[in-house]
Amino acid sequence: VLCKLINSLYPPGQEPIPKISESKMAFKQMEQISQFLKAAETYGVRTTDIFQTVDLWEGKPSRIGEAFPRSSFARDRT
């Protein structure tokens, strides 16, 4: 879902994550989270506002919830 979200912010053909895996294997899912985080940083989210892959994987909502609502990701990019 996160990869589809970040891709939707780009014009067709310029998406930062060209192949989104539907695998249920843990390492593939963690790889997808890492790709999303890298794309979010490229998009303009400050490094200090980005959670770690393991935060999402282990379900640490306080760290995740603290970062994105106030981050540069929430700003209008038009």
Provide the CATH number for the domain around residue 46.
Answer: 1.10.418.10
Residue range of the domain that includes 41: 1-57
Task: Measure the CA–CA gap between 18 and 6, rounded to whole angstroms.
Answer: 11
Cβ(34)–Cβ(52) below 8 Å: no
If one counts the domains in the chain, the total is 1
> Is 3 within the bounds of a domain?
yes
Task: Provide the pLDDT confidence category of residue 63 given band limits of 50, 70 and 90.
Answer: low
Per-residue confidence band for 49, with pLDDT thresholds at 50, 70 and 90? confident
Helix (H, G, I), strand (E, B) or coil at 18: coil
| Residue 35 covered by a domain | yes
Q: What string of H, E and C letters represents the secondary structure of 44-76? A: CCCHHHCCCHHHHHCCCHHHHHHHCCCCHHHCC
DSSP 17: -
In a domain, 28, yes or no: yes
68 in a domain, yes or no?
Answer: no
pTM to 2 decimal places = 0.73
Token reading at 54: 């393991």
In a domain, 12, yes or no: yes
pLDDT digits (tens, 9 = 90+) for 3-44: 999 999 999 999 999 999 999 898 999 999 999 999 999 998
